[in-house]
Amino acid sequence: MAEGIRDKVAIIGMGCTKFGERFDAGPQDLIVESFVECLADAGIDKKDIQAAWWGVHMPDISVGRGATTLGLTLKLPFIPITRVENFCATGSEALRGAVYAVASGAYDICLALGMEKLKDTGYGGLPLGGGFGYKMPLINSNLTAPGGFAMMATKYFSKYNLNPQDGKMMLAKVSAKSHKNGTLSPKAHLRKEVTVEQIINAPIIAWPLGLFDCCGVSDGASAAIVCRADMAKKFRPDPVYVKSLQIAVSSGEEMMYTKWDGAHVEAAYRAGIAAYKEAGIKNPREEVSMAEVHDCFSITEAVTMEDLQFSPRGKVKEDIEAGRFNLDGAQPIQPDGGLKCFGHPIGASGLRMMYEMYKQLQGKADKRQLKDPKIGLTHNMGGFPSMNIVSVCIVGK
């Protein structure tokens, strides 16, 4: 009988670069910047790392495929390294590899590092990059990331009878909250407060989503060192324990069958259920102190609140309006500003989210520090609402 990974593995060190349009930095700079901080934070030696998981989603525009980049850049001494890629959950997938390896008993100490260098493409938005194969453009629509998620906003508005003005207002409040939090994050890409009026009046990117409904496009890297839970306190007094790490992947029924309502992400709901079960959480709305969710677009965050059972179905608007998810609310979401302010260097994002949960649980989140959080959750969603990969990771003291 499988018993899961709850409390078997601890995070003892983390690092995160400054995120942004790092025209000053190449992939090597970003990898080293996150690794140096991570290693110093863990207080271990490079030679103590027994295996590594390396996450990069679009290596063809930055470092190429395979695991050699990490070995060559960090001069790791012939240890096993695996490159992982799983859309926007790539960073969380790297962490999952390292955590599962330690939980299995194969290793004591492992590294997870995720990096993405997006801003060498010459344009905004994510690279086209053949990520869906040669056939997809011949079959599917001329799809972009904002367009894919905008369709969920259209459907959400339609399903819950929100007129476009009210719907956009709800989404604007999601982004305004994150922009406010971002001003307190020195490593964030966008550190400017934005008013609801500015958000609503911004140019449309993909109707109904405007500029401020979309997260930034950034470069960055983030890293974690994990070890056996029973040895964690040897390295530091305040390790953070992994309670669960679950991934759910679409079965195709959302996009190819007609049952899906288009106003939620089924894999997020399923990954949430699995993660809560593993972590022993009965009431996510009450028990999860804080979360970094995949707010690639404002609508994604809103719908994720319902998928993760923080808000009842169709009721997230009430919670948003009540300020539940603000930094001073009952259940703060994106305390660091989220993808909205950090941008989304794909391979790095999952680990960047974990960096914030880790710092918050250690009481080291500076001006963003929440009062005594117990349980933190990270959520990544890769692909489109109609077909995707969702990761949910729960950590605690």
Question: Which entry of 227, 344, 379, 393 is annotated as an active-site residue?
Answer: 344
Is there a catalytic annotation at residue 215? no
Chain centroid to Cα 262, Å, comes to 22
Pick 188 or 206: Cβ nearer another protein: 206
Hey, which residues between 114 and 143 contact another protein (CB under 8 A)?
Answer: 121-125, 127-130, 134-135, 137-143
CB distance 215 to 209 below 8 Å: no
Pick 256 or 322: Cβ nearer another protein: 256
Part of the chain binding another protein (CB under 8 A), chosen from 21-29, 76-84, 162-170, 198-206? 198-206
Hey, which residues between 74 and 93 contact another protein (CB under 8 A)?
Answer: none
Q: Does 253 bind another protein (CB under 8 A)?
A: yes
Site string for another protein, 140-159 (x = CB under 8 A): xxxxxxxx--xxx-xx--x-
* Beta-carbon count within 10 A of 393 CB: 28
Q: Which residue has the tokens 């117990």?
A: 374
Nearest to 279 by CA among 306, 254, 245, 250: 245
Size of the site for another protein (CB under 8 A): 45
> What does the CA dihedral 199, 201, 204, 205 come to, rounded to 10 degrees?
-20
Q: Does 251 bind another protein (CB under 8 A)?
A: yes
Residue among 206, 339, 341, 390 that touches another protein (CB under 8 A): 206
What is the distance between the alpha carbons of residues 211 and 205, in angstroms, rounded to a whole number?
6
Is there a catalytic annotation at residue 214? no
* Beta-carbon count within 10 A of 321 CB: 11
Nearest to 310 by CA among 342, 339, 280, 332: 332
Pick 216 or 350: Cβ nearer another protein: 216
User: Counting beta carbons within 10 angstroms of the beta carbon of residue 348, is it exposed (0 to 12), middle (13 to 18) or buried (19 or more)?
Assistant: buried
Please report, as ranges, the residues that interact with another protein according to CB under 8 A: 121-125, 127-130, 134-135, 137-147, 150-152, 154-155, 158, 203-209, 251-253, 255-259, 262, 386
Could you give the residue numbers annotated as active site? 88, 344
